[in-house]
Amino acid sequence: MNKFTLFTPVNKLYFTRNLVTCTLFVLGLIPVVFEIYVLEHREHLTLFSSYFAYLSFLAILLHFISMLGNSVRQETLKGIIGGSLFFELDQIVINDEKYLLADIRKLNIYMNDYVGKISLNYRTANGRISRGVGNSIIIHLSNGDKKTFYFQQTDQYSNQHIREQLIHYHLTGKLHWLNLIDVLCINDYEEIQDFKKTLLINQ
């Protein structure tokens, strides 16, 4: 299947668990810091500041509790999933817009994210299960224009569905060798050499 779903990032404020707990923590500290360093009440806090100090402690506690379940929650989707991306031998189709390979000077393709991938950020209170939208394609056109699109990869091996197209992009000089083996997840030295020999034979 050479079709992928587009992802459009939306820049706005998202109320994530990290944001909520960090905000509560800072709000709780403000009266305490003000009383200690401005009013110089360093021996005993007022009842008002004490309540806010408890709020900061509660925020830390909530953050750690949320961290315990972050490996079973999906990350916050910061954008909209919709639209289509087709990788074809002679063109790349984004929704209804066609980019002919003959009009493309260079391609940069990044496919390191997929639905279900677990983030290594253990300290986050947000979900660590990826939605697979951290992939992108940058199309450098011959006229100097540059188009960047993001898309979703539904599983770890979706890149293999467009293996033929990726190889063709490389052989036509549009996709760099290092980018090709990165997208195809070819990391072992012997595997890289065998793959290179295969390309030379079929070229």
My answer on whether 47 and 101 are in the same domain is no
The answer to whether residues 96 and 164 belong to one domain is yes
Q: What is the pLDDT of residue 131?
A: 93
Give me the pLDDT at residue 127, please: 81
**Quick one: 24 and 107 in the same domain?**
no
Q: Which of 82, 80, 70 is nearest to 17 (CA)?
A: 70
Shared domain check, 154 and 85: yes
For 106, the domain range is 3-9+76-202
User: Which pLDDT band, with edges at 50, 70 and 90, does 186 fall under?
Assistant: very high
Same domain, 132 and 47: no
CA triple 54-59-65, angle to 5 deg: 125
114 and 59 in a single domain? The answer is: no
- Contact between 89 and 168 under an 8 Å Cβ cutoff? The reply is yes
The average pLDDT across 98-110 equals: 97
Taking every pair of C-alpha atoms in the chain, what is the biggest distance, in angstroms? Answer: 80
Per-residue model confidence (pLDDT) at position 203: 67
Q: How confident is the model at residue 5 (pLDDT cuts 50, 70, 90)?
A: very high
Enumerate residues 6+ apart whose C-beta is below 8 A from 41.
35, 49
Q: The CATH number of the domain where 147 resides is what? A: 2.30.29
* pLDDT bracket for residue 42 (50, 70, 90): low
Does one domain contain both 83 and 68? no
pLDDT of residue 91: 96
What is the number of domains present in the chain?
Answer: 2
The better pLDDT of the pair 134, 37 is held by 134
Higher pLDDT, 5 or 31: 5
The answer, yes or no, to whether residue 37 has pLDDT greater than 80, is no
- Domain identity same for 63 and 152: no
29 and 105 housed in the same domain: no
Round to whole Å and give the CA distance between 90 and 34. 65
> What's the distance, Cα to Cα, between the start and end of the chain in Å?
24
Within this chain, do residues 44 and 103 fall inside the same structural domain, yes or no? no
Q: Alpha carbon 81 to chain centroid distance?
A: 13
pLDDT higher than threshold 90 for residue 73: no
pLDDT tens, residue by residue, 80-99: 999 999 999 999 999 989 99
Of 72, 96, 116, the domain-final residue:
72
- Are 111 and 64 in a shared domain? no
More confident of the two residues 9 and 121? 9
Q: Pick the residue with more confidence: 127 or 154? A: 154
153 & 89 share domain: yes
